[in-house]
Structure 1
């Protein structure tokens, strides 16, 4: 018998997990267009959480809402106990949240190093130790530090975007479709990189089109449908649930 995933209305954060990000009854969208309705979501300290669901479900809108890029219509977003619901992205980044959008996530005309320096723009000086840490994590970026970002491959640009977001050593990293557009043989490598970031203590909240692989690797997952929570559970439990697989994971 397959495991049965927990429906959203019955879900709670595991008692052993201290919540870093808490989204409660969130209504949000763009201008007058409401996309999210009553969304609840948690990311524990150091946890790896994935949001999946059909196209148009509002997955990316959740990420953008946490980072202050949507119209907040109701509910609250708490980060480490602080209400950030009405804050701008330039304020939220100071709280310890990094964000990597799906597209337009590097400065194409700047070099690799200059992109990384832009990731630390709020600091008085560029922390060389953080640049070295990024190069250690993504050696290809160190090899191509003077190369224009626009000439990098898709996978290398994605590494650079993540590296730039890590320049401030965030407590939570938001990743929007990090495997989008990558060649199939590069997808597993990208997931391995993300696993490594999480293993080093950074909490991850990720939207991902490759739902099965993402759920295999994460601690917990949410299934979002038409801007509302449908299921929440451990990634492996969602994968094992026949109804979730049939309706949202392609069987």
Structure 2
């Protein structure tokens, strides 16, 4: 049985407790290892999805790509619930064609939308891209791609019911990369999606904007390893655009649930 989450307070972590609107701290869930983290977080997410479906008849789930969530996806796709009432989208996507090794969408379809979860509705950011690599695209082309994504996502039942984020060792989350071209707009835009062009990672990206992330009804941040724990501890100290994950921790409308594994 999952242990209850507990507030992250100064006596536990040696940092100032983060708050949502200076009212509610983020929540810390220690895990013995990444296997327990994936297994019990999948159970938690399934319960949240069932509750959203019971309350509103449908659920909107945003997940992150990369290698970190693969174990979670393997557990979550086996959960029995009304997946046909769940819409799945990404927190961010690399601007690469479908089937590309770096495509988060391909990864989610192959690793999450299988078994029980195969019945879920998949909502991509885009279906076609300019033919040349995204490094050659102009800002006007990126604007058009973001505008198209916003039109495609407009009819979804916002806000997100569940958001599963990741975090890089540079403190980025989704594709909110520190100091990246496009970051300022992605932090402030009232649109759901914006583009970012990180200098430290390949490919231009589309990402859910910070206001869209912050409005989610439930936010989960699974982390593992000492290096990411150190980045997280630093982000707990203050909200700063130099560490975008800190903006989520300190400003989310609901306390961020941080699941930590060694």
- TM-score, normalised to structure 2's length? 0.32
- TM-score, normalised to structure 1's length? 0.33
